Amino acid sequence: MYHNPVLLKQSVDGLVTNPDGIYVDCTFGGGGHSREILSRLSDKGKLYAFDQDLDALKNTIDDPRFTLINQNFRFLENSLLAYGVTGVDGILADLGVSSHQFDEAERGFSIRSNAPLDMRMNVMQGLDAKKIINEYEEEDLANVLYNYGELRESRKLAREIVHHRKTKKINTTDELKSLFSYIPAFKQNKFFAQIFQAIRIEVNQELEVLKELLVQSYKVLKPEGRLVMISYHSLEDRLVKRFLKNGMFEGEPPRDIYGNYKKTFELLKTKAIIPDDKEIEENSRARSAKMRIGTKI
């Protein structure tokens, strides 16, 4: 089941400025954003959507203005070139795991269901959660838990995983969770969410893929084109915020003799746009959502 997209109206309001334009939905999923975008376009408008998940292909839209590309959005620029598209008027990405992927228990994304350790957004790729948990070196595993799960005790946790797997392979989400049964009940939800987030980000290389998308977005957007990014945790939002501010992910941009740097985007609003209480009540996934919208200068 695909749920209603987060910040649907606000995101498409910020995206579509030209009904005759060319737009990209980088995270098609159930097609909610795409359908809303198409409702704002004229007969001349065009929408290209990306999704690497084979399940999403079942939701394709029968509309001559619409093209669904079964690719990771890290291939944005080349995939659009294959259709003869060199410039677009707007790009939207609703990052992270879709509600459908969480709800499909066997995919292994949810902490609530026992399932094989998988967590692949693209089930055709080789690296999955089981491989990370059972084969990564202790130091690499600790780095994943620290960098992507923001777990301060990452070295201790990695050591416990490595110690356990020496005698028995860890195959399922419940087997992984059972290693940390000593965690107090009131802390378990947050703790396991951090563990699962860290592994999932590593499986899907989510932060590297996001960086590639942002860089390519700037290249393919026309001047005055809009970039709309919806993120669900601070690691994503930090990258989006910095890129929209100065086109970089770390360090400081070069400045002229007056101390000014060349801006790449004009922010529609200085602060992130967040869902209201009503939307959060109707869709729990919206709780952590932050949306930022930039206009290419």
Residue 29 has pLDDT above 60, yes or no: yes
Can you name the residues that pair with 292 across neighbouring β-strands? 229
Q: How far apart are CA 246 and CA 32, in angstroms?
A: 31
Residue 53 has pLDDT above 90, yes or no: no
pLDDT at 236: 96
Least reliable range by pLDDT among 50-59, 96-105, 250-259:
96-105
Kindly report the pTM of this predicted structure. 0.92
pLDDT at 4: 78
Over the range 204-242, which residues count as b (16 or more CB within 10 Å of their CB) and which as e? bbbbebbebbbebbbebbeeebbbbbbbbbebbbebbbe
Q: Is 73 annotated as a binding residue?
A: yes
| Fold match, 8-99+208-296 / 105-206 | no
Q: Is 32 annotated as a binding residue?
A: yes
Strand order in the sheet with 46-50: 66-69, 46-50, 22-25, 88-94, 221-231, 290-296, 265-267
Q: Is 100 annotated as a binding residue?
A: no
pLDDT at 284: 83
Burial (CB < 10 A; 0-12, 13-18, 19+), residue 273, is: middle
CA dist list (Å): 246 to 237, 241, 243, 267:
14, 9, 6, 11
Percent of the chain with pLDDT over 70: 96
In the block, tokens 């869902």 appear at: 275
Q: Do 293 and 270 form a contact (C-beta atoms < 8 A)?
A: no
pLDDT at 98: 62
- 147 SS3 class: helix
Least reliable range by pLDDT among 9-23, 102-116, 174-188, 250-264:
102-116
Q: Is 276 annotated as a binding residue?
A: no
Closest by alpha carbon to 213, among 116, 127, 88, 108?
88
User: Which CATH code of 3.40.50.2000, 3.40.50.150, 3.40.50.1370, 3.40.50.720 fits the domain covering 8-99+208-296?
Assistant: 3.40.50.150
Q: What is the per-residue pLDDT across 168-201, written as a single tens digit (0 to 9) for each?
A: 999 999 999 999 999 999 999 999 999 999 999 9
Q: How far apart are CA 181 and CA 188, in angstroms?
A: 9
Tell the CATH topology of 105-206: DNA polymerase; domain 1 (1.10.150)
What single string gives the DSSP state of each residue in 193-235?
HHHHHHHHHHHHTHHHHHHHHHHHHHHHEEEEEEEEEEESSHH
In the block, tokens 């780095």 appear at: 143
Q: Is 164 annotated as a binding residue?
A: no
Instruction: Sketch the domain layout of the chain as residue ranges.
Output: 8-99+208-296, 105-206
pLDDT at 2: 57
The alpha helices in the chain, defined as continuous H runs, are 8-15, 32-40, 76-82, 99-103, 129-135, 138-149, 154-165, 173-178, 185-204, 206-220, 234-246, 277-282
